[in-house]
Amino acid sequence: MTRYAKMKKRRDHWKKKTVEANARLRYQRSESKRLQAERNRYKKALRATRAELDEQKRRNALPTVTGKVDVIFLQYLRQLPMTR
């Protein structure tokens, strides 16, 4: 083989190896982006669900009576005799 043929063979091998490596890296980057987007969707759904659950817990923990008028009315109802 001549020196030129050897150099051309090495260069072609280097180019082929570089193209394959770049294709693999492009795939890995796109796959990484896809996985990150999927993970972010799940995290967002989890945060929304947790916020909704906390809101429900807070709503159930709050007393239903919020004003003085309601307290007086409930006190009045308590004083009424129970008839069945």
Q: What pLDDT is attached to residue 84? A: 54
Q: Where are the domains of the chain?
A: 3-79
Q: To the nearest whole number, what is the mean pLDDT of the chain?
A: 89
Contacts of 70 by beta carbon, 8 Å cutoff, 6+ apart: 64
Is the separation of the CB atoms in 65 and 74 below 8 Å? yes
Structure tokens at 48: 């929304």
Q: What pLDDT is attached to residue 37? A: 98
Q: What is the pLDDT of residues 53-65, one digit of tens each?
A: 999 888 877 666 6
Q: What pLDDT is attached to residue 83? A: 63
Quick one: average pLDDT of 24-37?
A: 97
Using the Cα atoms of residue 16, residue 17, residue 18 and residue 21 in order, give the sign of their dihedral.
positive
Q: What pLDDT is attached to residue 69? A: 84
